[in-house]
Structures are given as C-alpha cells and as structure tokens.
C-alpha cells in the first residue's frame, strides 16, 4: 500500500482542503521520524522542519500543541507560565488519543481534538516549512503564514 493511501494521510489531505490549502503531499523513501531525518530526505535545512510536539497540562490534563522549528527545544518552564500550569511531554498513547496520529507522523492541524496551539517564532522566519503528513514517510510543505492560520496558533519564542 502506498503511504498516500493510508487513512491517516487522507485525513491530513482533507484537513488541508478544508483550510483551502493545496499543499503537495510528498512520500519519502526514508523515514521522517526526526527533524534531521526529514531535512535530509527533503534536502532542506532542519530549521524548515515543523515538529508537532504535544504536551499535557499536569493539572488539567489538557493538550497543548507546540509547532517548533526542527533544531529547537521547547522551554517547558516558559510554556508552563504561558498556560498557567505545569506541563509535561505527552506519552504516545496521549498523543494518539488527542491527535489521532502516532508520534513521528503528527501533522500541525486536523487532529481528533482541538488544542491550545503555539507556533515557534523561528518558523515564521523561513520561506517555506515542511510538516508531517500523517505518516513517518509523508510530509507536506507550506508557507509559515499558512501554517499559522491553518493551525490557529499563537506565535511565541519556544526556547
């Protein structure tokens, strides 16, 4: 089965269409589980890779989505202050439950449930960015402004 035929990838394609985006889905021979792998497979800079990172509010149990630039690490103390509660990196089961996707293939939008969403200001400096398309071997590209609008996120410094 081609990756593009998988249900998770079809859901991402539908989410793109619902948002009026015509981004091309690109199937990779190599896995794109990490930002470095994705950048190597695409022949782009790792800064152009969108990492869709899910955090869990320690008190509320709510999901927080951070769309971070490939090389950046999220400052969890800063994120905790923004959401007014401690946060922790979500486990695989929580990620799948809240997004509908497995880690490594989580797109920046089109999830099972809405999240409080933040977008790394460093992504906004790129001409184009690449995000997971519902599978570890599928990505799609778009402009940072499209990512921001489609995700409904707030731009923040993540580091």
Domain ranges of the chain: 3-156
CATH 3.90.960.10 fits 3-156, yes or no: yes
Share of residues in the chain with pLDDT > 70 (%): 99
Mean pLDDT score, 52-64: 97
**What is the structure's pLDDT at 29?**
86
Mean pLDDT score, 60-76: 97
Q: How far apart are CA 153 and CA 147, in angstroms?
A: 9
Write out pLDDT tens, residues 1-48. Answer: 488 789 999 999 999 999 999 998 999 888 777 899 899 999 999 999
**What is the structure's pLDDT at 83?**
97
Whether residue 149 is predicted with pLDDT greater than 90 in this model: the reply is yes
Mean pLDDT score, 58-78: 97
155: confidence class by pLDDT, cuts 50, 70, 90: very high
Q: Which residues contact 43 (CB under 8 A, 6 or more apart)?
A: none
State how beta strands 138-142 and 129-135 pair: antiparallel
60: confidence class by pLDDT, cuts 50, 70, 90: very high
pTM of the model: 0.95
**What is the structure's pLDDT at 24?**
83
């Amino acid at each position: 089965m081609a990756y593009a035929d998988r249900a998770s990838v079809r859901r991402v394609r539908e989410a793109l269409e619902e948002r009026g985006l015509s981004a091309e889905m690109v199937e990779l021979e190599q896995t794109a589980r990490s930002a470095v792998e994705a950048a190597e497979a695409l022949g782009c800079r790792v800064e152009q890779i969108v990492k869709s990172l899910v955090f869990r509010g320690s008190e509320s149990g709510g999901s927080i989505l951070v769309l971070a630039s490939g090389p950046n690490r999220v400052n969890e103390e800063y994120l905790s202050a923004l959401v007014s509660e401690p946060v922790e990196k979500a486990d695989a089961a929580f990620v799948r439950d809240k997004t509908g996707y497995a880690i490594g293939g989580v797109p920046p939008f089109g999830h099972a449930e809405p999240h409080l969403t933040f977008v790394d200001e460093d992504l906004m400096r790129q001409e184009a960015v690449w995000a997971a398309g519902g599978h570890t071997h599928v990505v799609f590209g778009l402009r940072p402004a499209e990512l921001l609008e489609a995700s409904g996120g707030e731009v923040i410094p993540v580091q």
